[in-house]
Amino acid sequence: MKILIKNAHIIDPLQGIDGIGDILVEEGKIKGIEQKSRRAEEQKKTPPQPPLDKGGIKRGVDSELRTIDATGLYVLPGLIDMHTHLREPGYEYKETIKTGTAAAVKGGFTTVCAMPNTNPVNDNSSVTDFIIRKAIQEGACAVYPIGAITKGQKGEELAEMGIMYAEGCVAFSDDGNPVMNSLIMRRALEYSRAFKVPIISHCEDTNLSEGGVMNEGLLSLTLGLKGIPSEAEEIMICRDLALAELTGGKLHIAHVSTEGSVRIIREAKKRGINITAETCPHYFSITENTVEGYNTNAKVNPPLRTQKDVDAIKQGLKDGTIDVIATDHAPHHRDEKLREFDHAPSGISGLETALGLSLNLVHEDVLTMRQLVEKMAVNPANILGLNKETLKVGSDADVVIVDVNKEYKVEAEGFISKGKNTPFEGLVLKGMPVITICKGKIYE
């Protein structure tokens, strides 16, 4: 099966492509890419270039050829979500590898990284192996497991990182449970250097955030809900930065949600500390006000913050302080969210709204399309060492075709994910993936 994508606006930051062209896919790989015209402003600067890949694309009738006319559409390297909760094994009622990856593909993702807070926890190579096998059998897209930093995510004893790394884990995280013991975190950052893998830190001082269910402020007081101050996140980021500096470990800060965190990370990067950071669409799209009426679909950890935090997150994305947009896709069962706010679990089902929400940043001129591709494909691949970020000839044919102008209403009932828990119900988004191709397989 061959696929010819014609007249697309191709963006591939790695090859420096940002213009109209064609792509040929054969046997799951990119077989050819041909740029016909650059963006108008660049054309003025440089003379027309010869085709990038002469003769790569054979024209003519071919029964095995599927031609996609992508006129007016963008074609990007498949998106990579480095923060996904697939819930399998153990919580199949919330999500499975099958449904989670299908949701990913619908959202334009061709690679997801599965967080280890499953049951049992992915803290040993048997679980890692199970996830990888299951993903090969049932997954719609590529799945890379993230192993636990500590056994049982208890923060006490290092998990067998080396063995899990050999089995296929691409990073380590106790996501959901911060490693509160500074000595253990130091060891994790030190030890992981042997395998050059990142430690992904869920930054939360759980003493400071104890019992908290939303952002701390006037709204938490008037709703009578226990607040989590921004400082619970910022204090831990400061600690982890200090430990990263001490150890030279590869630190990646998960789901940045506050203005202070952005400032702290910006300063650390200026000082040359080897860190990267991610945020999630909900942290630059909505505020704590969404919680009003005790809306459990807006309960997430870290909590939704305020407008000044939203603005700072956008600025952090724009100036490169924040490297990655990840979903923190956290599906839950309907019954679990239909409860008292205190008792409902935290999390947002994010795979199917992430691209639409992130494209708002392009519409608002916060990011260019190229920067968006960097945040959602190139940078995650680089941080995790995946060769998945480009449309270069010979790469896996992981491609997403995006209509950036198509408007649609978010309807959770239509989600492929088992998790219908979204605070964006009814919101009109502009821009959606129309076709996702994973290793040459077309999903539309």
Catalytic residue from among 53, 205, 328, 403: 328
Shortest distance in whole angstroms from residue 296 CB to other proteins: 9
Stretch that binds other proteins, among 74-82, 121-129, 218-226, 368-376 (CB under 8 A): 218-226
Segment lying near other proteins (by CB under 8 A), choices 8-16, 101-109, 338-346, 384-392: 338-346
221 makes contact with other proteins (CB under 8 A): yes
By CB under 8 A, residue 293 contacts other proteins? yes
Measured from the CB atom, the residue of 61 and 338 that comes closer to other proteins is 338
User: Residues 342, 364, 407, 444: which binds other proteins (CB under 8 A)?
Assistant: 342
Task: For residue 291, give the 3-state DSSP assignment.
Answer: helix
Residue number, 294 or 408, with CB nearest to other proteins: 294
Which of 52, 223, 242, 442 touches other proteins by CB under 8 A? 223
Nearest distance, CB of residue 179 and other proteins, angstroms: 24
Token pair belonging to 438: 């994973």
- Which structure tokens are listed for 34? 């041909």
CB of 305 to other proteins, least distance (A): 15
Q: Pick from 224, 272, 394, 426: which binds other proteins (CB under 8 A)? A: 224
Instruction: Output the DSSP codes for 231-290.
Output: HHHHHHHHHHHHHHHHH---EEE-S---HHHHHHHHHHHHTT--EEEEE-HHHHH--GGG
> Which residue, 340 or 413, is less far from other proteins as judged by CB?
340
Whole-angstrom Cα Rg for the chain: 21
Q: Does 308 bind other proteins (CB under 8 A)?
A: no
Which one, 39 or 339, has the nearer CB to other proteins?
339
Q: Which of 66, 308, 334, 339 binds other proteins (CB under 8 A)?
A: 339
Opening angle at CA 381, ends 378 and 384, nearest 5: 150
Q: Which two tokens stand for residue 439?
A: 């290793």
Q: Provide the 3-class DSSP secondary structure of residue 438.
A: strand
> Rounded to an integer, what distance in angstroms lies between the CA atom of residue 143 and that of residue 112?
5
Number of chain residues interacting with other proteins (CB under 8 A): 17
Q: Which residue of 154, 226, 266, 392 would you call a contact of other proteins, by CB under 8 A? A: 226
Q: Residue 90's Cα: distance from chain center in Å?
A: 22
Burial class (CB in 10 A: 0-12, 13-18, 19+), 165: buried
| Part in contact with other proteins (CB under 8 A); list of ranges 26-34, 223-231, 353-361, 383-391 | 223-231
426 touches other proteins (CB under 8 A)? no
Site for other proteins contains 340 (CB under 8 A): yes
Q: What is the largest CA-CA distance in the chain?
A: 68
Applying CB under 8 A, among 109, 341, 415, 424 the residue interacting with other proteins is 341
Beta strand 74-77 pairing with 214-215: unpaired
**294 lies in the binding site for other proteins (CB under 8 A):** yes
**What is the DSSP pairing of strand 65-69 with strand 2-12?**
parallel
- Say how many CA atoms lie within 13 Å of 39 toward its Cβ: 11
Least spacing, CB of residue 419 vs other proteins, in Å: 18
Q: Does 338 bind other proteins (CB under 8 A)?
A: yes
d(CA 311, CA 7): 36
Nearer to other proteins, 1 or 221 (CB): 221
CB atoms under 10 Å from CB of 149, counted, come to 31
**Rule CB under 8 A: is residue 365 a binding residue for other proteins?**
no
For the question of residue 328 being annotated catalytic, the response is yes
Ramachandran region, residue 365 (left: φ > 0; alpha: ψ -120 to 50; beta: rest) = left
Q: Which is nearer to other proteins, 64 or 340 (CB)?
A: 340
Determine the Cα–Cα distance for residues 289 and 318; give it in Å rounded to an integer: 24
How many Å apart are CA 358 and CA 366, to the nearest integer? 10
Minimal distance, residue 218 CB to other proteins, in Å:
5
Which residues carry out catalysis?
Answer: 328
Residue numbers of the site for other proteins (CB under 8 A)? 217-218, 221-226, 293-294, 335, 338-343
